[in-house]
Structure 1
Amino acid sequence: MSFTLRRLVLEDMDRVAIVLRQAFDERLPWLAGLHTPDEDRAFFRNHVYRTCEIWGALDGDIVGFIAFRDGWVDQLYVLPAHQGRGMGTALLDIAKAASPRVQLWTFQKNWAARAFYEKHGFAVIEETDGSSNEEREPDILYLWQKQSAANGSV
């Protein structure tokens, strides 16, 4: 592993906001520009940091992160140039170790994210038309459940 993982602190939130925006805009360009950089920073400092446990993948600087709480992954982003190196998997494993059930939303058009989550044992439990999310973009709710070692069930 050529990167390190650590729990992030409030002072890391400005960098996390940059990672979010760069990864989001590159992978989902049709949704770019929804928020300003100042809005992103405020969101991470005032909401995400207060409600989630946040871990980062570092390769010199923070290049990926996960924010999770109570069986939910709220955010998981790795800069595209750093994808494919195991960072997303390592970050997701932290959230999976913290809860026997993990749910998350992703956009239906985000094929790379969908393939990633399905490869890691997540199953689709709901699809929406996007009318209830901020982006008005059709999305998918995924669920992962820890398997029992004894019988392979949950």
Structure 2
Amino acid sequence: MTANRFTFRRLDLQDMAQASRIHRAAFDNSLPWLKGLHTPQEDQWFYENCVFEQCEVWAAFSPDMAGIIAFKTGWIEQLYILPDFQGHGIGSALLRQAQTTFPHLQLWTFQRNIQAQQFYEKHGFIAIGKTDGSGNEEKEPDMLYEWRRAGS
């Protein structure tokens, strides 16, 4: 299965419940030590009232929603792919949507999330900072990544 077997579209408010479920399933799979940080209701509220209000939110479908990205000027806020769909180019295709839209992007990922670091570095992101996690909700050490379009 490759990304060309998926359809991509920008999401509407009514899609946020499903987007929040994609987020939670992928998050809990990749970061099991943080599982249960929020309830499904809290996740849905966050997507409807924060993510959707502040970001462009796109998804990949096959035919059901398989992955999401949320981005705004200069930032990737969320990028999550269901575990069964990882490794098929969906994350790369969604990331290209943000990279096509903006010439400069930053994002945070946890230091223990080696898979995410490898993914972003493969797509031209460079680690530019680290924290001890005291400033994030999870209290998990994280890394700041940056990407710039060539020539910008």
Would the TM-score normalized by the shorter structure come out above 0.5? yes
What is the Cα deviation at residue 133 of structure 1?
0.2
- In 2, Cα distance between equivalents of 1:59 and 1:117: 23
Structure 2 residue aligned with 1:128: 131
Where has structure 1 moved over 6 Å in runs of 4 or more?
Answer: none
1:36 aligns with 2:39: yes
What is the Cα deviation at residue 98 of structure 1?
1.1
Ranges in structure 2 where 5+ consecutive residues have no aligned partner: none
Structure 2 residue aligned with 1:59: 62
Structure 1 residue aligned with 2:119: 116
Between the two proteins, the alignment pairs up a number of residues equal to 149
Ranges in structure 1 where 5+ consecutive residues have no aligned partner: 149-153
3-state SS in 2 of match to 1:46:
helix
Over the aligned positions, Cα root-mean-square deviation in angstroms equals 0.6
What is the Cα deviation at residue 55 of structure 1?
0.4
- Using structure 2 for the length normalisation, give the TM-score: 0.97
Percent of counterpart pairs with the same letter? 54
3-state SS in 2 of match to 1:33:
coil
- Using structure 1 for the length normalisation, give the TM-score: 0.95
1:21 aligns with 2:21: no
- AA aligned to 2:63 is G
- AA aligned to 2:65 is I
- In 1, Cα distance between equivalents of 2:109 and 2:10: 23
- In 2, Cα distance between equivalents of 1:125 and 1:97: 22
- In 1, Cα distance between equivalents of 2:81 and 2:118: 15
- AA aligned to 1:34 is L
